Amino acid sequence: MISQAGIEQVLATFSPHLHLVDVQGWLTPVQQQALHALAALTRGPVLEIGPWIGRSTCCLARGLLLRSERMPGDRVVSIELNPDDSYFRRNADGDVEFWCPGDTEMRGIAKADLFDTHAAPVISSPGGIVARLKETLARHHLQHLVEIIVGDFKDVLPVARYGLIFSDVCHTPYEIERMVAGLRPVLTPGTLLCCHDTTPENRDALEQAIAYDWTTMSGSLHIGMIGEA
């Protein structure tokens, strides 16, 4: 089982060759290295919720290739909602909020210029996010290591014993509450859960909702070992 000290040592030893500069995304180089190393050090399939167009997915898949012993079922199970324009609303300030059907609060928000420059062209392109994700994996020759599932993860989640889970659907306490509820079937003791975009408020929400053995941070990446409930 991976220790907190072992993870923090990985985070302190940065290798710049792991930086995927050709794939759009918001993971820092150190965070990319963390996912890469954790995928290599854990066992079993890796679950990813919210891959965007594949920066994190490539890090996880490359990590699988470094495992000393890779079993036939070891792969990245990457679940993408693939939302269209109807999921996004501009507020009075012009910023863009993300809402799923039935939501009573927004799940995230982006500045208008960031959304219009980076997100909108992908979302409105043929095939949307998933098409770009597939292109990324093919360009990096990693498609054979990744199973892409399209839909709301709480409805399509394959229940398995995941050694590592990476979530990029944890931008607000409201979204975290729904993420944790959907992931309960796979939050087993010994699993590593990594959550991106973790503010101090979001860290509190995570650590109140989940029983961890230990947690640590790499920038906005929250890393924790699931403990006994």
Same domain, 48 and 68: yes
| 142 phi and psi angles, rounded to 5 deg | -120, 5
pLDDT digits (tens, 9 = 90+) for 75-125: 999 999 999 999 999 999 999 999 999 999 999 999 999 999 999 999 999
Same domain, 35 and 115: no
Same domain, 207 and 190: yes
- Whether the full predicted model's pTM is greater than 0.75, yes or no, is yes
| Structural domain for 42, as ranges | 4-82+129-226
How many Å separate Cα 87 from the centre of its chain?
Answer: 19
Q: What is the CATH number of the domain that holds 58?
A: 3.40.50.150
Is the per-residue pLDDT at 16 higher than 60?
A: no
Same domain, 142 and 221: yes
Among 11, 53, 45, residue whose Cα is nearest residue 221: 11
What confidence tier does 6 reach under pLDDT thresholds 50, 70, 90?
confident
Same domain, 160 and 54: yes
Same domain, 69 and 53: yes
Q: For residue 94, what are the CA distances in angstroms to 11, 106, 108? A: 37, 15, 14
pLDDT of 165 reads: 98
pLDDT of 18 reads: 60
Among 197, 225, 190, residue whose Cα is nearest residue 49: 197
